[in-house]
Amino acid sequence: MASESLTASGYIKHHLVNLTWGKFPEGYEHAGHWGFAHSAADAKAMGFWAIHVDTMFWSILLGALFLLLFRRVAKNATAATPGGLQNFVEWIVEFVDGIVRATFTGRNAMVAPMALTIFIWVFLINAMDLIPVDWIPQVAALIGSNVFGMDPHHVFFKVVPSTDPNATFGMALAVFALSIFYSFKIKGVGGFAAELTMHPFSSSNKLLQLVLIPINFLLEFVSLLAKPLSLSLRLYGNMFAGEMIFILIALMYSGGLMLGIFGGFLQMGWAIFHVLIITLQAFIFMVLTVVYMDLAYQTDEH
């Protein structure tokens, strides 16, 4: 798409900008009005309340696809000879259930369905990275120019929500909020406060313990905040790097026949390897979510 009229640097930048809808600030031609950003600078100037339309679209669409597919399988499930799709879904459900049983020591009927949802949803989001980088953006550019009269070079459309830190931080913060909620619910305010202030350093001397409380709180608070940060950045970093490699390989197609053929083999090899990455990242996100929920339920002193 953009490789015919943009430099290599411009092509890369074009693929790394989200389709952003927001309010144009003062100093812009359409100041005070809402609309789509025409550049990365426009998107940045729109500030916090701007919406990444492409991220929201694909996240919601793939989430709905997961729900409809699994609902259909559950509705048509049979105890006789099951079909291939039912066997596959049952295998995934049993696999996730086994992980939850081995990791989560509490009793909460929500954890296993949540783990299943996270695993499939994140996998589907990540799997969008296997679609050639120009296919869907080309369709978006055609729709933007023919339907909305937009300049094709101003139509940005990323198709991998997990390469948007807003999406990964949003998911991580949702997990973090649940773990905090259940920490208060299971341990109580006093128990959770003690967990943050009485560890890792402790003493039978009351005066010394008072001195250690702020130190413990600082260490535990940093550790607490590191959970959503690491959960989000791990997924974002791995998927962003994978997307960048696909974009760099795509540049080879504009370098001549031989370089294009070589790029095709590279793309195939990286796509095969990337299947492992997208699956592993979905699995890690799910497992860490279950681990954080388990930590919220742990009340025993060791």
Q: What per-residue confidence (pLDDT) applies to 63?
A: 96
Confidence of residue 302 (pLDDT cuts 50, 70, 90): very low
Contact criterion met (CB below 8 Å) for 37 and 50: yes
3-state class of 128 per DSSP?
helix
pLDDT, tens only, 224-277: 999 999 999 999 999 999 999 999 999 999 888 899 999 999 999 999 999 999
* Mean pLDDT in residue range 63-72: 95
Confidence of residue 5 (pLDDT cuts 50, 70, 90): low
Whether the predicted pLDDT of 12 surpasses 80: yes
Q: What per-residue confidence (pLDDT) applies to 198?
A: 87
**How many Å is the Cα radius of gyration of the chain?**
24
230 as an active site residue: the answer is yes
Q: In what order do the strands lie in the sheet with 51-52?
A: 34-36, 20-23, 51-52
Ramachandran angles phi, psi of 162, nearest 5°: -75, -5
Q: Where are the beta strands (DSSP E) in the chain?
A: 20-23, 34-36, 51-52
DSSP secondary structure code for residue 77 in this structure: -
Confidence of residue 3 (pLDDT cuts 50, 70, 90): very low
Q: How far apart are CA 263 and CA 245, in angstroms?
A: 11
Q: What per-residue confidence (pLDDT) applies to 208?
A: 86
99 vs 298, higher pLDDT:
99
CA 214, 216, 220, 223 dihedral sign is positive
Q: What per-residue confidence (pLDDT) applies to 145?
A: 83
87 as an active site residue: the answer is no
pLDDT, tens only, 265-297: 999 999 999 999 999 999 999 999 999 999 999
Average pLDDT, the chain: 91
pLDDT, tens only, 113-146: 999 999 999 999 999 999 999 999 999 989 888 8
Catalytic residue among 108, 166, 234, 254: 234
157 vs 151, higher pLDDT:
157
83 vs 171, higher pLDDT:
171
Catalytic residue among 76, 203, 223, 230: 230
238 as an active site residue: the answer is yes
pLDDT, tens only, 14-40: 899 999 999 998 877 778 889 898 888
Q: Which of 93, 56, 108 is nearest to 298 (CA)?
A: 108
As a whole-number percent, the residues of the chain with pLDDT over 90 amount to 68
